[in-house]
Amino acid sequence: MQPQYDLKALRQQIPALQSCVYLNTCAIGPWPNVTRQAVSRAADMLAEPNRMSREFWGIFSAARDNIARLINARADEIALMQNTAEGMNVIAHALPLRPGDNVLMCDQEYPAVVYPFMNLARLRGIEARIAPHDGGGLTVDLLERHADARTRVVAVSSVEFVSGFRNDLVGIGEWCKARGLWLIVDGIQSLGAAPLDVKAAHIDALASGGHKWMLGPMGAGFLYVNRERLDELAPPFAGALSVVDAENYLDYNLTFQPDARRFELGVPNTIGVAGLSASLDLLLSLDIRAIEAWTLRLSGLLLEQLDRLGYRPFVGCDSTHRSAIVSFNTPDPAGVAEASERLTAANVIHTIRAGNVRLGVHAFNSEEDIQAVVDALGPAAGRAG
């Protein structure tokens, strides 16, 4: 079986695939050639600013347009950021929270989700409430059990970074909207590999870096802010580009931009943004839904084989919460290190997270890549029978 796009042509676009089986996009995505070329063009223009063309100044608007297409937003709802943590911190400090209010999260979140609110607890006296996960992530049932009258915000990842648990953002968003709560999302572990509609999920703000599934450079990301809630937020920082009439430098008119650009302080990472926009051009041309269908096929195939070999996946093959991330461990705790060593010896690029082997399948991976994992691993250490 093949995906709905030309897999061979896509693989030829990605130099890293010539030397390894790359299953580590959940840590960092390999650049396609078009990304490297876009970065090089931007660097050439920066090296000779006297020769800058209109193309250079269009880099930022093109990136906002592509990001907006990716998440079904408007371009004026996108602020360019360096990474997920920057976006999460900006939105955390902008929220209208008072002492005693609480922000609800689960205990599988990446630190970029949790630390901004823990820090806000220290500074403003809010509660960063961390609840035990429900099967690997956050569910409406968990929210029902742990929210109370002082809950104001739910913060969650689209996909949890350790377990690969895909959270039901539409269900969570409907639950939050019915109660007037803010929904803040970290999208870095799904954007580029799976569709995410911020309007359908009632997401108020979403932050993401671009260097994982979006296959962009490190240091280039974004913050989405729902236009309908923009005026309820207080920008916590200000810079030359945060305000209207930005080039009238000595006027000192602190009137913020009328859109999400009010959260941008200065010139973004130009080279990174150029690369990210080029990567998104490529991914959008493939169709994100076609990418999702292929990655779910591959993750399902991998999970079936892992189960056959006696490994213990975090999220099961038949789960509606399955994503492009597959994490697993072994009956014998020492078997995780052994499994990692076998994969490394076979040049299968992967990571270890919280005592699990973690693999990520993307648009460019193949069924042969899955077979390479199976061949490298063999039966699990401590397997019964």
Summarize pLDDT for 207-243 with one digit per residue, the tens: 999 999 999 999 999 999 999 999 999 999 999 999 9
Q: Quickly count: other Cβ atoms within 10 Å of residue 151's Cβ.
A: 19
- What percent of the chain lies above the pLDDT cut of 70? 99
pLDDT confidence of residue 319: 87
- Grade residue 384 by pLDDT with cuts at 50, 70 and 90: low
Mean pLDDT, range 91-98, rounded to an integer: 98
| Consecutive H or E run containing 26 | none
Q: Which two tokens stand for residue 344?
A: 């490394």
Does position 383 have pLDDT exceeding 80, yes or no? no
What is the pLDDT averaged over residues 33-49?
94
Residues 144, 320: Cα–Cα separation, whole Å: 20
Cα(155)–Cα(5) distance, integer angstroms: 34
Which domains can be identified in the chain, with CATH numbers? 7-30+287-377 (3.90.1150.10), 35-285 (3.40.640.10)
Flag whether pLDDT at 4 surpasses 70. Answer: yes
Instruction: With H, G, I as helix, E, B as strand and everything else as coil, classify residue 183.
Output: strand
Residue 140 identity: V
Region of poorest pLDDT, from 44-53, 193-202, 229-238, 262-271: 44-53
